[in-house]
Structure 1
Amino acid sequence: MGHQKSRLKHLIIFLLFTIDCFVVQGFTLRSCRISGNKAICSPSKKLKEVPTDIPPTVESIDLSNNKILKLQEGNFIDFPYLTNLDLKQNKITKIGKGTFSRLFSLKTLNLNNNTLENLDDGVFDGLSNLTELRISTNRIETVAPDAFRSLTNLEIFVFSFNQLRTSKQIGLIIKHMPHLTQLHLHHNHIQTFNSSDLTNKPTGITLLDISGNPIKLFQITTNVFPNLTNLNVGNPPMTVAMIWDVPDKAMLAKVDTLDVSRVTMGGSAKMWDLLSTFNTSLVTLTINSMHYNLRTLINKSCSIPTVSTLKLGQNNLFYISSSLFEICTNVTEIVLSKLDRNKLQTVPSAISNLRSLNKLDLSNNSIESLGCNDFANLTLLQYLSLPWNKITTLSACVFQHLPKLRVLQLQGNSLSNISNAFTTHLPNLNLLRLNQNSLTTLENGTFRGLPSLQHLFLYQNRINNNIDRKIFQTFQDLVNLQNLTLANNHINYRRFTPMKHPPFMNLSKLNYLNLQSQHRRGKSKLPSNFLQGLTNLSTLILRNMQLTGIPEEFFIHMPNLDSLDLNSNDLMDISPNLFSPIPNITKLRISDINLRSLDFLTEANLTKLKFLQARKNAFPVISEEIIRSMPSLRYIDLEFSSFICDCDSADFIKWIKKSNQTQVFNAYNFKCYYPSNQKNKMLLDLNVQSCMIDIGFICFTFTTCVNLLFLVASLTYHFMRFQLAYAYYIFLAWLYDRKNKSSQAPSQYDAFVSYNVHDEAWVYRELVPRLEKQQGWKLCLHHRDFEPGKRRPIVDNITDAIYGSRKTLCVISRRYLQSEWCSREMQVASFRLFDESKDVLILVFLEDIPSCHLSPYYRMRRVLKRQTYLSWPGEGPEVHVFWEKLRQALTTKKCVEYPPLWKEICLHNDL
């Protein structure tokens, strides 16, 4: 019994532990969205505090452009993988001690553009692995001595646009940063920069930017910067003569990049002393907005044998003489640009003197035309930048001297005709920018001379080639092109009819094509084979083309398409067959196209889709079938859709809250549009519990009922199986009696003998000879009198035999008590006894059986034994008495002779 209890206990424990009771937190966030491993907390909400629902597994958090006022301990307590934290452009005035103490993995921290005024001790405790810290554009004037004590691994420190005033303050900061390599302190209020105030030992700083400070004295008297390679002391906020005090030039011997823009030294001789400090190492020199004679300054600069890059922007140059760069034989890069401060109207002829030049920047000038010899002698030039000038046309000979040119930038001009400028001469050109000009047509062979071109930008022009002109074959020669941008032009087609000569037929290497925003009146269509030949295309942008439809075979030529943008068109409905040729697509944008349903997704077979943007549409419901059709979905944007707030949205709401795979962008701001009484209420606030079929509860109820039924059945079988069997056969006997009572014939036998097969020897040796041969009774025996081959149940045979005999004689032994069929025979006979009030049951015990061995089947029999039962004596004189009593039992009429009321009393008294 104890073993059974133990097993039951273990079973209950097992069942309890197999019921999974846990809370699943959805992937949808209230204030942020997840992109890769980065949490981007949207500035549109202008958060005032750090959100609490950011997943702890993110590696980067962007909280920029919000209204966070303060940071405190507890804001960032559970981000073990966080390496980047961006808090720029908030209104942070205070950072509490311990705020970052749990960010052990943080590498980059950005606190730019806030309103911090001071930094207390230990404010950055816990950031021992931080390598980059930016605190620019604050109001920091005082810094506690141990504010940066934990930043022992910091490499980049940006502290610009604050209010530091002395180099001693700088020393208090960098003393905690033994691994510092970049120090940015531009635009503070530092007037004296003295190396002796910083530290008494060498540092690893390679970049020092103290530009924009009103420095009056720059003094290096200790070897603090033995590794410095980049020094910027330019752009002081006012005209103040700076004293340069570097007695030992070896202390800055590794500086190769120097910016002294706008610096005044009290005379050109002192400026030359400054430049001579770097006479053996300087490579790049920036001298923008200078107040000295530019020719003299350039000549002195170019006399430094190592200088190869000159930046001369913002010098108000209208004209450059042809001899200006005569001695600059080693210069390979020159920049004459910057915000209209240089106003060159032609390409300076002096440029031709720079035969080693490989990079030339003439952007933001007023150049109106290019001549055939403007770039003569620049055979090594690889980079030419001419954007934001006023160039209107290009002649065929402009680039004839630039065989090695790889990058050409002509954007932002007024080009309307490029003639034959690109039909020859530029075999190595890799990138060409012609965007933001006034081009109206591109004819065949325009780019014939650009076999190596990979990136072509033609957006924001007026290109209006139409299928009817049959000349849109411009790109057939660009066999290596990979990136083509034709956005914001006037390309337009009126029908789906296939083209005879598709424009991109030879661009088998193209992987990016942008055709968005074609500005023509009226709706547009695209020929069904418009994209034929783009077998390697992975990204296609057809946004805002006013398309009214797309042929089902449109994408058949691009099996590798990965990203498709159909935003802002008038498609209304999309056929699922449209996506059959592109089953590998992972990013789909279908916002603002008047979609009335997303049901097409159920048949589109987009099983690899990870990103779906479908905002600003008219579908009211997202069904469960739609959700299941995108098993790989990670991000979905359905903002500004016309959601219906009733039970039809129950599955969608439940999915938003429970999905830990798919992020539903800004779901907590989804608003109801229907019905009218729910309009402008939040979708996720809708109570849909009454709509849902609680499958979990149903399963729980069902399994509970099954378990209880099983338990009741098991207990009933164990404790009452005999009573149930008894009741069953009593019921069968009752049915038989009810059926045959009115037509009952005289008994065929005097007695039916019920015995076990193991007692058959005694029956045939003792009972049958004595009762049939000597006393003349007619007995019914199983094996002898049951009709052979009778196609009826055995129970019916037993019932016929008992009701066909006057009495039933049960030969009882231990074997008999264990026999199922014997018990059934006794049960039928017992029912006949009660039903007919006749003494029809005779019990003969062949052996003594203790009452404890009698099963529940025979509790009634034990009572009946008091009335009529016999025990077989075995041997001796009692045998004759036994047979005599048996004869009397077969002939007695006892209770049957009484009237009906007394029959029952008689039977009960005998019991």
Structure 2
Amino acid sequence: MGSRIKRSTFFFSPAFFLLSFSQFVIPLKGFALKNACKISFNVAICSGNFVKLQDVPQDIPPTVKGFDLSTNKISRIRTTDFKEFRLLEVLDLKNNIISQVDEGAFINLRSLKKLNLNRNKLGKLDAGLFDGLQNLTELRVTRNRLKMVEPSALKSLLPNLSVLSMAGNNMRFFESGHLTNTSLQLKSLDLSRNPITVFRITADILPNLTWLNLRGTFKKRQVTWDVRTFLGNVSLLDISELRLSLRYMTSLLASVNSSLTVLRMDKMSCSLAELINISCSIPTMSALQLQNNKLGSINSSVFHLCTNVKDLDLQRNQINSTDEGAFRSMKELKVLTLSDNRLQSVPVATRNLPNLMKLDLSKNKINALHCDDFANITKLRHLKLNANLISALPSCVFKEVTKLEVLKLQNNSISQLNTAFKMYLPNLKQLHLNSNKLVAINHGEFGGLRSLQNLSLHSNQIKKLGMGSFLGLKNLTDIHLQLNMIETEQIAGGVFNDLINLRRLDLSNNHIRYYNSRPLRNPPFLHLSLLETLYIPSQRRRGRSQLPSNILKGLSNLLEFTCRNSQLVWLPVDTFSYTPRLQRLDISSNEFQDLSPALFHPIKDVRSLYISRTRLGSLEFLKDARLGKLNFLQSKRNVFSVISEDVLESLPELVYVDFQGNNFTCDCDNAGFLQWVKENNKTQVFDAYNFECNYPLELKSKKLLDLDTQSCTVNTDFICFISTTCTILLFMAMSFTYHFLRWQLTYAYYFFLALLADKKRKNQQTPRQYDAFVSYNAHDEHWVLRNLLPKLEEEQGWALCLHHRDFEPGKPIIENITDAIYGSRKTICVISRRYLESEWCSREIQVASFRLFDEQKDVLILIFLEDIPTRQLSPFYRMKKMLKSKTYLSWPRAEGHPEVFWEKLRQALLSKDI
């Protein structure tokens, strides 16, 4: 019940929690937004300490469902500001200076359900202001300057509006006739802190109203109050700080006599005792809040009529004592809040509350606890003793409250636990001992807390931990040990071995430090196989440090790891080999300068990576890091100046990056990054429009995104055109050449080969093995064997070289030809039409012609087996030229005188080379 009272104080306030959620951002879709805006969970966030917008930004994607523009300096809402946001459901404009809203400014927001205009400067709500908001369910315009509301201003909202908050304005009239004559769906109405002088509800237009806040509404006693019986369904009523006469108060309470369950009467100026008696006479009322009433002490008559009250809140009443029978009549009381008073001990009056389940004694001056302080309240589940002056816990103090589930003892001066938790609290689930003066956790200190799930020991002075310090805590899932004085040796002895179900461990801000990366003999977390979150950042030891390579051994289910601000200079590449399920890694504020891609290979499931302030000179390691699932990257205030496209392409799932505070180079090296920032529609680059140039000096402090990269880009269309054109022309030229000049090309090719061979052998003195090398085509082989060979070898005794007989097997044919020509005194070319078409024969005659012309040696003898016209010899330019100046032998012309032919041949073979 007590919790219900507190939630009602901020009724519907969690609705905008999502809009203020900016610590950890994983957007659905985004890109580079101006003015340091960002997209988170499909909500555009343009609020914060560093953003002071004067106008609604126009680069927000119209598909967002939430838009947070709070805490800016916007003074006017224009018609075009939200024209495209047809899917918007939540709009937060609080904490601006809005004094004017143009007509039709919200007309396109047909999906809007919640609108917050709190803390602005609106003077009135004009007719038509909210046109288009037929689906609005919640409207907040608190703390403006409203003096009046036009009768038709809210008409377009009335069908679905369920929450209306107009607190803290200058409204003097509230009359149902100004709203409508029909029944509304309104469930919550907040008119608090308005100087209302006329409050009139003359028709049953609020049949669904359950929450009515009139706190501080009537500043004068003389008011017109005409309510009749039209508030019959109000269950929560706040009349705190009202100055109505007792008659009007009685009338008001009578109008809700059949439905009221929660009543708030804080800071009442008079007639409090009478009002308590009247309210406690309402049979349905179960929760009564009486804060800030300066009660001082409570006697047995104050609540003697409150027999049905289950929840009593007496915060901030300067209570220093209570009669023993102060709550004796409240047998049904389950929640009692006495926080922020001046009690020096646990009131004896609480022992008369057998059904009490929650007792809040926080922020008092209680300096000691005794064994009988909680006698008879055996049903107690929640006990708050935080922010007192308690220094010690007697071992028997909790013996009566064995069903206790939540115990809060933080912000005291406790230095000794005195076995208070060894036996009596078997059902305790949460224990808060933070911000005390504990220096050691001894063996079995929490042995009786077998159901404990959450243990807070942070902000103490703990120096000593050892084996068995957490003995018996097998169900513990969450332990906070940050901000103590724990040293490395204290976690090395298996101190956590008993916490087999631990899910979260926070050791930040202690004195844990390692000076080398050598593997530990006994890794501290070896038995925490179910641990999901481990924090060890900001260790308070001077000097640089390292992490042992196996410090995370045993943490096979770890999802989140933080070691930021630990002055680490290096991480062994196998550090994360024991944590294959890691999803969030924060290694910011260290001194790495560079990271190995292999460091990230075992943790392929990482979604969020924080590497800010680590002196990284480059992000190139990400290319080979295999972080294909990474969607959040924060790398602020490093020293890299260029971000390559390869890095961005290696992170295909990236949806949010933060590169603030880096020293970017404004040249073509960043052209690809700039294009990606401007054109991608998947990854949001936070605050990209405020990135500044650091180099070259003439562009220093200029905006990076203002850099003109046109000169850096290559016109690929033009290059493709030129390449295609050249390829086509080259193909046509090759086709033309092959068709019309293929023989000339063949000739040139062999001419070149012959030239090379000639240069190679020019200075060599090759011994002559043969008198002549015979070059012929295979089709003329019968003439060579039947006529030439018998005549020259058998009759005349010449030594001839024939390729089919004398070439060396296995040697390249081009070398055989060259060796045969240069190894013979003469070369006899048996020429026919087929000979001239043969590539190898052409090669042979080329080599021979080199000896003839280039070495000035008469080595070539030509025998024509056919009469070939000179024009057919034109491709073989050297042969044509030679035929003009040399005598050659023709076999067809020697048919009648063969002896002359053979004699001339013999004379040619006898002639010398020079």
CA–CA distance in structure 2, aligned partners of residues 792 and 884 of structure 1: 38
Q: Which residue of 2 aligns with 1:418?
A: 393
| Within-5 A mapping of 1:281-292 | 281-292=259-270
Q: CA deviation at 1:487?
A: 1.3
Superposed CA offset, 1:87-113 (max 9, x none): 333333233332222333332222222
1:87 pairs with one of 69, 89, 94:
69
> Which of 816, 829, 832 in structure 1 is aligned with 2:848?
829
Shift of 1:244: 2.9
The partner residue of 1:756 within 761, 773, 777 is: 777
- Corresponding position of 2:357: 382
Using the alignment, how far apart are the partners of 2:90 and 2:166 within structure 1?
A: 18
CA pair 170-69 structure 1, distance change in 2 beyond 3 A: farther
- Whether the aligned pair in 1 keeps the contact of 2:134 and 2:156 (CA below 8 Å) is no
**Which of 473, 481, 486 does residue 452 from structure 2 map onto?**
481
Give the structure 1 partner of residue 321 of structure 2: 345
- Aligned equivalent of 2:905: 890
Matched with 2:12 is none
Distance 2:874 2:548 in 1: 73
Distance 1:620 1:503, change over 3 A: closer
Give the CA deviation at 1:432. 1.5
210, 215, 223: which one aligns with 2:204: 223
Q: Could you tell me which of 660, 666, 670 is aligned with 1:667? A: 660
| Secondary structure of 2:752 counterpart | helix
Distance 1:650 1:602 in 2: 24
Counterpart of 2:43 (choices 36, 59, 63) is 59
Q: Does the CA-based 8 Å contact 1:289-1:314 persist in structure 2?
A: yes
2:677 is aligned to none
The answer as to 2:528 corresponding to 1:558 is yes
Matches within 5 A, 1:731-750: 731-736=756-761, 738-740=763-765, 744-745=767-768, 748-749=770-771
Asked whether 1:136 is paired with 2:129, we answer no
Alignment partners' CA distance in 1, 2:152 and 2:163: 14
**Distance verdict in 2 for CA 1:519–1:848, change over 3 Å:** same
Alpha-carbon deviation of 1:275? 1.4
> Quick check: 2:617–2:640 contact (8 Å CA) kept in 1?
no
How far off is 1:195 after superposition? Answer: 0.8
Please report how far the alpha carbon of residue 516 of structure 1 lies from its aligned counterpart in structure 2 after TM superposition.
2.0
One-letter amino acid of the counterpart of residue 494, structure 2: N
Distance 1:614 1:773, change over 3 A: closer
Matches within 5 A, 1:442-453: 442-446=417-421, 448-453=423-428
Match of 2:510 in 1: 545
The answer as to whether partners of 1:372 and 1:397 remain within 8 angstroms in 2 is no
Deviation string, structure 1 residues 341-393 (Cα, Å, up to 9, x no partner): 352523763323222222222212222222566233432x3322221112222
Residue matched to 1:10: none
Aligned counterpart, 1:436: 411
User: In structure 2, do the counterparts of structure 1 residues 292 and 791 end up closer, same or farther at CA, with 3 Å as the change threshold?
Assistant: closer
Equivalent position of 1:782 in the other structure = 803
- For the pair 1:531 / 2:506, whether they are aligned, the reply is no
Q: How does 1:575-594 map to 2 (within 5 A)?
A: 575-577=547-549, 578-582=551-555, 585-594=558-567
Q: Which residue of 1 aligns with 2:241?
A: 262
Q: CA deviation at 1:36?
A: 2.0
Change (3 A) 1:594 1:847: same
Distance 1:830 1:39, change over 3 A: closer
Compare relative contact order (CA 8 Å, sep 6+) and give the higher one, 1 or 2. Answer: 2
Residue 27 of structure 2 corresponds to which residue in structure 1?
37
User: How many Å separate the matches in 1 of 2:824 and 2:278?
Assistant: 143
Change in 2 beyond 3 A, CA 1:170/1:60: farther
CA contact (8 A) 2:638 2:661 kept: no
Give the equivalent residue in structure 1 for 2:226. Answer: 245
How far 1:817 moved relative to its partner?
Answer: 5.0
| CA distance, structure 1, for counterparts of residue 503 and residue 747 of structure 2 | 77
Q: Give the match's secondary structure for 1:85.
A: strand
Give the alignment's TM-score, normalised by structure 1.
0.77
**Cα distance change on mapping 1:841 and 1:806 into 2, 3 Å:** same
- Match of 2:359, SS? strand
C-alpha contact 1:509 1:534 (8 A) present in aligned 2: yes
Match of 1:210 in 2: 191
Give the partner amino acid of 2:179.
Answer: L
* Cα distance between partner residues in 1 of 2:37 and 2:782: 88
How far the C-alpha of 1:525 sits from its partner, in A, is: 5.4
Superposed CA deviations along residues 536-572 of structure 1, whole A, max 9, x for unmatched, are 3333222322344499422223232423132142162
Partners of 1:527 and 1:839 in 2: how far apart?
A: 97
1:352, 1:378 within 8 Å by CA — same for their partners in 2? no
Structure 1 range deviating more: 383-392 or 712-721: 712-721
Q: How does 1:59-458 map to 2 (within 5 A)?
A: 59-66=43-50, 68=52, 70-72=54-56, 75-166=57-148, 168-169=149-150, 171-176=152-157, 178-236=159-217, 238-247=219-228, 249=229, 251-266=230-245, 268-337=246-315, 340-346=316-322, 349-370=325-346, 374-379=350-355, 381-420=356-395, 423-446=398-421, 448-458=423-433
Tell me if structure 2 keeps the 8 A contact 1:492–1:524: no
By how many angstroms is 1:893 displaced?
Answer: 5.4
Given that residues 220 and 246 in structure 1 are in contact (C-alpha distance below 8 angstroms), is that contact kept between their aligned partners in structure 2?
Answer: yes
Distance of 1:569 and 1:850 partners within structure 2: 102
* Inter-partner Cα distance in structure 2 for 1:434 and 1:847: 124
Contact 2:27 2:39 (C-alpha < 8 Å) held by counterparts: no
The 1-side partners of 2:692 and 2:94 are apart by: 37
Q: Distance in 2 between matches of 1:386 and 1:582?
A: 40
Residue among 579, 599, 608 paired with 1:634 = 608
- Asked whether the equivalents of residues 508 and 536 of structure 2 are also in contact (C-alpha less than 8 Å), the reply is yes
State the alpha-carbon separation in 2 of the partners of residues 826 and 81 from structure 1: 82
Provide the C-alpha distance between the structure 2 equivalents of 1:347 and 1:594, rounded to a whole number of angstroms: 58
Task: Deviation per CA, 1:739-786: give whole Å up to 9, x if none.
Answer: 225xx44x733x432223343334334544566667776543233x41
Q: State the distance in 1 between where 2:836 and 2:500 align.
A: 88
SS at match of 1:388: coil
Among 798, 813, 832, the alignment partner of 2:817 is 798
Residues 782 and 131 (structure 1), Cα distance of their counterparts in 2 relative to 1, 3 Å cut: same
Query: Which residue is equivalent to 2:18?
Result: none
The structure-2 alpha-carbon separation of the partners of 1:868 and 1:375, relative to structure 1 and needing over 3 Å to count, comes to: farther
- Equivalent residue runs for 1:794-873 within 5 Å: 794-813=813-832, 816-817=835-836, 819-834=838-853, 835-845=855-865, 858-866=876-884, 867=886, 873=892
Secondary structure, aligned partner of 2:212:
strand
TM-score where L is the length of structure 2: 0.77
Distance 1:105 1:193, change over 3 A: same
Count of residues in Structure 1 that have an aligned counterpart in Structure 2: 805
Cα distance change, pair 485–808 in 1 and its aligned pair in 2 (3 A): same
1:219–1:847: structure 2 CA closer, same or farther, 3 Å change rule? farther
What CA distance in whole angstroms lies between the structure 2 residues aligned with 1:238 and 1:317?
Answer: 23
Deviation at 1:511, TM superposition (A): 2.8
Distance 1:768 1:335 in 2: 133
Instruction: Measure, in 2, the Cα distance between the counterparts of 1:169 and 1:410.
Output: 51
Deviations 1:194-237 (A, max 9, x none): 01101233322110010111222221123322221111112236
- Corresponding residue of 1:509: 475
**Cα distance, 1:889 vs. partner?**
5.4
Mark the CA change 1:548 to 1:733 in structure 2 (over 3 Å): closer, same or farther. closer
Q: Report the secondary structure of 2:751's partner residue.
A: helix
- What SS does structure 1 have at the residue aligned with 2:642? helix
